[in-house]
Amino acid sequence: MSLPRASDTRVTVERGVPIPMDDGCTLLADVYTPAGSGSHPTVLVRTPYGRAGPIGLFLGRAFAERGYRVVLQSCRGTYGSGGSFEPNFNERADGLATIRWIGAQPWFDGRLAMNGPSYLGAVQWAVGDAAEPPLRALCTHITYSNLARHWYRGGTFSLHDALDWTTMVSEQEHTRFGFADVILERRVRRIDRVIDHLPVAELDTLVVGRRLPFWRDVVDHASCDDPFWDRADHSSRVAHVEAPVLQTGGWYDIFLPDTITDHHTLVDAGHRPRLVVGPWTHIAPGAFKVQLRESLQWLDRHVRSDGDAGSGSTDATPVRLYVMGANRWRDFVSWPPPECEPERWCLHAHGRLDRREPDDSAPDTYTYDPADPTPIVGGTLMRRSGGRRDQRTTECRRDVLLYTSDVLTRGVTVIGEIVAAIHVSSDLEHFDVFVRLCDVDEKGRSFNVCDGIARVSPEHWPRPASGPWAVRVDLWPTAHAFRAGHRIRLQVSSGAHPRFARNLGTGEPLATATRMRVAHQAVHHDPEHPSVIVLPVERA
Residues 6 or more apart whose CB falls under 8 angstroms from that of 520 comprise: 365, 367, 426, 427, 428
Residues 307 and 430 in one domain: no
Predicted confidence band at 514 (pLDDT cuts at 50, 70, 90)? very high
For residue 466, pLDDT beyond 50: yes
Strands (E) in 349-477, as ranges, are 352-354, 364-368, 401-404, 412-416, 419-426, 431-440, 446-456, 469-474
Q: From 198, 221, 244, give the residue that closes a domain.
A: 221
For residue 312, pLDDT beyond 70: no
Predicted confidence band at 178 (pLDDT cuts at 50, 70, 90)? low
Per the DSSP assignment, residues forming a β-bridge with 74 are: 47
What is the model's pLDDT at position 176?
56
Residues 424 and 487 in one domain: yes
Predicted confidence band at 184 (pLDDT cuts at 50, 70, 90)? low
Would 195 be classed as within a structural domain?
A: yes
Q: What is the rounded distance in angstroms from the CA atom of residue 500 to the CA atom of residue 260?
A: 21
Residues 316 and 436 in one domain: no
Q: Is the distance from CB of 447 to CB of 368 less than 8 angstroms?
A: no
What is the model's pLDDT at position 69?
97
b/e map 280-303, b = 16+ CB within 10 Å: bbbbbeebbebbbebbbebbbbbb
What is the model's pLDDT at position 308?
45
Work out the number of other CB atoms within 10 angstroms of the CB of residue 331.
12
Residues 302 and 380 in one domain: no
Would 101 be classed as within a structural domain?
A: yes
User: How many domains are there within the chain?
Assistant: 3
Domain that holds residue 426: 340-538
Report H helices in 231-334: 256-268, 285-299
Better-scored residue on pLDDT, 183 or 129 = 129
Residues 316 and 347 in one domain: no
Would 502 be classed as within a structural domain?
A: yes
Residue type, 399: D
What does each C-alpha distance from 443 to 353, 401, 440, 481 come to in angstroms? Answer: 19, 20, 8, 17
Predicted confidence band at 316 (pLDDT cuts at 50, 70, 90)? low
Q: From 167, 198, 221, give the residue that closes a domain.
A: 221
Q: What is the rounded distance in angstroms from the CA atom of residue 458 to the CA atom of residue 430?
A: 7
Would 496 be classed as within a structural domain?
A: yes
Would 427 be classed as within a structural domain?
A: yes
Mind listing the pLDDT tens digit for each residue in 81-98? 999 999 999 999 999 999
User: What single DSSP character describes residue 384?
Assistant: T
Predicted confidence band at 18 (pLDDT cuts at 50, 70, 90)? very high
Residues 258 and 364 in one domain: no
Residues 258 and 366 in one domain: no
Would 1 be classed as within a structural domain?
A: no
Residue 319 CA, distance from chain mean position: 18
What is the model's pLDDT at position 474?
98
Average pLDDT over residues 273-292: 95
Which helix or strand (DSSP H or E) is residue 70 part of?
Answer: strand 69-74
What does each C-alpha distance from 161 to 56, 434, 497 come to in angstroms? Answer: 25, 17, 11
Between the CA atoms of 97, 103, 107 and 113, what dihedral angle is there, to the nearest 10 degrees?
80
DSSP-based three-state secondary structure for 535: strand
Report H helices in 4-158: 53-54, 62-64, 91-103, 119-127, 147-151
DSSP-based three-state secondary structure for 276: strand
Residues 352 and 393 in one domain: yes
Would 4 be classed as within a structural domain?
A: no
Would 173 be classed as within a structural domain?
A: yes
For residue 216, pLDDT beyond 50: yes
What CATH number is attached to the domain comprising 380? 2.60.120.260
For residue 366, pLDDT beyond 60: yes
Q: What is the rounded distance in angstroms from the CA atom of residue 13 to the CA atom of residue 262?
A: 35
What CATH number is attached to the domain comprising 289? 3.40.50.1820
Residues 481 and 511 in one domain: yes
Residues 299 and 258 in one domain: yes
Residues 461 and 328 in one domain: no
Mind listing the pLDDT tens digit for each residue in 392-405? 999 999 999 999 99
Between the CA atoms of 24, 30, 36 and 39, what dihedral angle is there, to the nearest 10 degrees?
-40
Residues 421 and 492 in one domain: yes
Average pLDDT over residues 347-371: 97
Q: How far apart are the first and last CA of the chain?
A: 36
What is the model's pLDDT at position 309?
46
Residues 6 or more apart whose CB falls under 8 angstroms from that of 231 comprise: 88, 89, 92
Residues 6 or more apart whose CB falls under 8 angstroms from that of 236 comprise: none
Using alpha carbons, select from 291, 254, 255, 298 the residue that is nearest to residue 276: 291
For residue 213, pLDDT beyond 80: yes
Q: From 300, 332, 364, give the residue that closes a domain.
A: 332
